[in-house]
Amino acid sequence: MRNKLDAQIEHIAIDYAQRQGLNFSSQTEAQHYLRKIKKEIHGYIQQGNVTLTEGLTYLQKKKDGHVHSYVSTMASKLLKHLNSSKGLKKVIEEILNYERSLLYFTEVIKGYIDCGDPHKEQCVYSVLLAIFPLNPQAYICFGSLIWREEGIAAADAFYTKLLETMHDPALDYFAADCFFKNGDKEKAKNILLQALEMLDASPDADARHQICEFLEQL
């Protein structure tokens, strides 16, 4: 597993250097740069693992009620298998195969929004992101946290970068709200129109109504 991870990091580092269009005067300089990038990537992975572990630990502790009990049980299972890719895969498959798992995790994690502890928020949001990376809720939570803690400019930058690779009507709505309140009405309008197009074939009439109401304000 370690050799596979090292190979992946090597690939990412080389790809990053190529994307930057960097030219090196010698092979030694190139290798030195790659070692630096690989060290940084290892640091990000290690920090991400720490944050995820803390988030699972927080979720494991709350057991009151059926919803919290389910999330606590799954968090315990994930913690138990953190060092086993095969074990993790099995637990995640169990979570994803249960149709109410996303609803339950989202409900519990929403309880941490603006809880007065930004670090705790970040940790539990990282759990939602790790298990459901294609769902917009974790990104919306992170965007709100960044807005509160670092200001609207930082949130604007976060949403702008995120929307380069991901779009969802709910995510677009919150991003547009940020852009609009940061003074970029045209950018907000374009994002909302894109969200509306995505909802053309959707039965979600409430979402369409909210976006149309927002567009009327612009």
How would CATH label the architecture of 136-218? Answer: Alpha Horseshoe (1.25)
The CA-CA-CA angle for residues 130, 133, 137, to 5°, reads: 100
How far CA 118 is from CA of 76, 114, 215, in Å, comes to: 23, 7, 32
Q: What is the pLDDT of residue 23?
A: 61
**Distance between CA atoms of residues 120 and 112, nearest Å:** 8
Q: What tens digit of pLDDT does each residue of 98-127 get?
A: 999 999 999 999 889 888 899 999 899 988
Q: What is the pLDDT of residue 210?
A: 81
Averaged over 139-168, what is the pLDDT?
Answer: 91
Averaged over 59-67, what is the pLDDT?
Answer: 86
Q: By percentage, how much of the chain surpasses pLDDT 90?
A: 33
Check if the beta carbon of residue 185 is closer than 8 Å to that of residue 218: yes
**Closest to 176 in 3D by CA, of 163, 166, 165, 164:** 163
Q: What is the pLDDT of residue 1?
A: 44
Give the chain's mean pLDDT: 80
- Least confident piece of the model among 11-20, 55-64, 170-179: 11-20
Q: What tens digit of pLDDT does each residue of 73-97 get?
A: 999 998 888 777 788 788 888 988 9
**Distance between CA atoms of residues 128 and 137, nearest Å:** 8
